[in-house]
Chain A
Amino acid sequence: MVEATLEQIVYTYIAEHVDDEFDYDTEIFEEGFVNSLFAIQLMTFLEKEFAIKITMDDLDMENYKSVNAIGEFVRRWRERNVR
């Protein structure tokens, strides 16, 4: 069985909660797919799924704007916290 990539996991989770078509580069906040409640839900999902802890240092819209951006952010977070 092929293991799902980080982006696939994030995409599947968001797709379960939004009703519109989107791809890995769609700006989910800009397009209005994500309200503030789902933003918190998504944050909790990322923290639990990828064992990360989002703090004030991670409050940057660039980190969450799309599936690809979230994937990059999670990888960077892990690298930063492994060192």
Chain B
Amino acid sequence: MRGHLARSHQEPYREFVDFVNTYVEPYANRWDIEQGIPQDVIRRCAEKGFLGATIPREYRGQGWDYLTYGAFTEAIGRGSISLSGLFNVHTMVMESILKWGSEEQKAYWLPMLASGEKVGALAMTEPGAGSDLMMMQTTYQQQGDRFILNGQKKWITFGAAADVLLVFGKLAGEEPIACLVPKDSPGLTITPIPDMLGFKASYLATLEFNNVEVPAANMIGRPGFAISYLAPYALEFGRISIAFASLGLLRACIELCGAHVMDRKTFGTNLIDQGMISHMITDMGVDLEAATLLCLEAVKAKDGHSPDATEKIMVAKYFSSRAGARHSTNAVQMMGALGCNEHHSVSRYYRDAKTMEIVEGSNQIHQLLLGKGFAKRAKRAMRTSEKAKGVQQRV
């Protein structure tokens, strides 16, 4: 990553890497085993300003561009995918408020979130509504200047650690809306979900809303737009996070495996001199390079406010998360029994990498959307070329 960054971004990246080497990586396996990240780690991240990320300084954020956010997420992902989940969901909530909130909402919520005084999480998924959000059953009923919220959310990343949740539901069972709901709202029950395959320390939770009163002033955006505008807008940031965190995971795989195969000997030679091992390391390195370029291209488009950013971010998420899953499998293979032990990081990479293929739009949803987009574009290109040929022949 460092070699691809301009000097202006190398210094902050070095700081992120130093932070991860000191406060994250040495403890990440322990966090997974204990299924939680200590509060003092989250507090330290807040003190460093990391929870302010891309939010403008006027709201106590860091005002980072998306390239800096990506570089930060790569560094965190190298140390702990579980911790990267915090910045992912927190940033999605803040970016949603920044884009779709009123001036009053921005002034009220953003400083406390960007400073890390409060942690935010996004509550979209339900037991019966994952990829297809229109299936969600959570409802808001308006009563004067407040809503009554009922329903259930599941698999909510940092749901058991967040102070405020952006909860998606349908107003009167019809119009999708999203409201900010404080965790201590009466009628809200938060139950941690233990024993996940990956994201083990990401405080996943089930949220049950039983006649929870939410001030109407907490609604972000307008009724009818939560699924068509708020959710995809937020998920775009989620995909940037997953793409770059996967990149960090890939780097972790090659760093650990590279060192191992250079030193470990079998049958009188180093592992790297065995053709099969060399093949796996080569593919790992090539995919890391390709994924890095795709991720950088995606945030470049996002920083340039290019409409192409949406597709480029999906491409980066799809490629990086798939590469992470493939190469973490090979990493376990190369490390042998070591890679099968939960005290060794490679087993964590393997479990987290699988989860990265599922979150923020499963890779199958990416295939549906990207595949159709590519095919349409190809068809248009063919049609244009045939038209041009026809004109040429007539001439």
Contacts and interface: CB of A to CB of B under 8 A. Distances in A.
Interface residues of chain A: helix, strand, loop or mixed (majority)? helix
Given A40-B232, A41-B311, A48-B305, 15 more contacts: A36-B227, A36-B228, A37-B310, A37-B369, A39-B228, A39-B229, A43-B229, A44-B305, A44-B310, A48-B307, A55-B99, A55-B100, A56-B101, A56-B221, A59-B229
Contacts, number: 57
Per CB-CB distance, the 10 closest pairs between chain A and chain B, nearest first, are A45-B307, A59-B222, A44-B307, A36-B232, A41-B310, A59-B225, A41-B307, A40-B232, A36-B228, A56-B100
A48 B308 CA distance: 11
Given A37-B369, A41-B307, A59 B232 contact: no
Contacts of A48: 305-307
A40 B100 contact: no
A19 B383 CA distance: 11
B309 A44 contact: yes
Interface in B178-229: 220-222, 224-225, 227-229
A44 B306 contact: yes
A61 B224 contact: yes
A19 B310 contact: no
B43 interface: no
A23 interface: no
B306 to A, nearest CB: 7
Interface in A39-58: 39-45, 47-48, 55-56
A69 B220 CA distance: 24
A45 to B, nearest CB: 4
A31 interface: no
A16 interface: yes
Interface string A56-70: 100111000000000
A43 B228 CA distance: 12
Nearest to B220: A56
B64 interface: no
Nearest to B304: A48
A40 B221 contact: no
A40 B314 CA distance: 13
Listed residue (A19, A44, A56) with the most chain B CB atoms within 10 angstroms of its CB? A56
Contacts of B102: 56
Nearest to A16: B380
Contact of A59 (B221, B236, B379): B221
A52 to B, nearest CB: 12
Interface residues of B, number: 28
Interface of B: 99-102, 220-222, 224-225, 227-229, 231-233, 236, 305-311, 314, 369, 376, 379-380
Listed residue (A13, A39, A42) with the most chain B CB atoms within 10 angstroms of its CB? A39
Contact of B100 (A17, A35, A36, A59): A59
A59 B99 CA distance: 11
Nearest to A19: B376
A79 to B, nearest CB: 21
A15 B102 CA distance: 33
Nearest to A35: B369
A60 B232 CA distance: 17
Interface string A5-45: 00000000100111100000000000000011101111111
Contacts of A16: 380
A18 B311 CA distance: 15
B168 to A, nearest CB: 13
B228 A42 contact: no
B260 to A, nearest CB: 41
A39 B224 CA distance: 14
B236 A40 contact: yes
Contacts of B231: 36
B301 to A, nearest CB: 10
A41 B195 CA distance: 38
A6 B383 CA distance: 26
B232 A56 contact: no
B307 to A, nearest CB: 4
A51 to B, nearest CB: 11
A11 to B, nearest CB: 15
B77 to A, nearest CB: 24
Contacts of B233: 40
Nearest to A45: B307
Nearest to A58: B222
Contacts of B224: 59, 61
Contacts of B308: 41
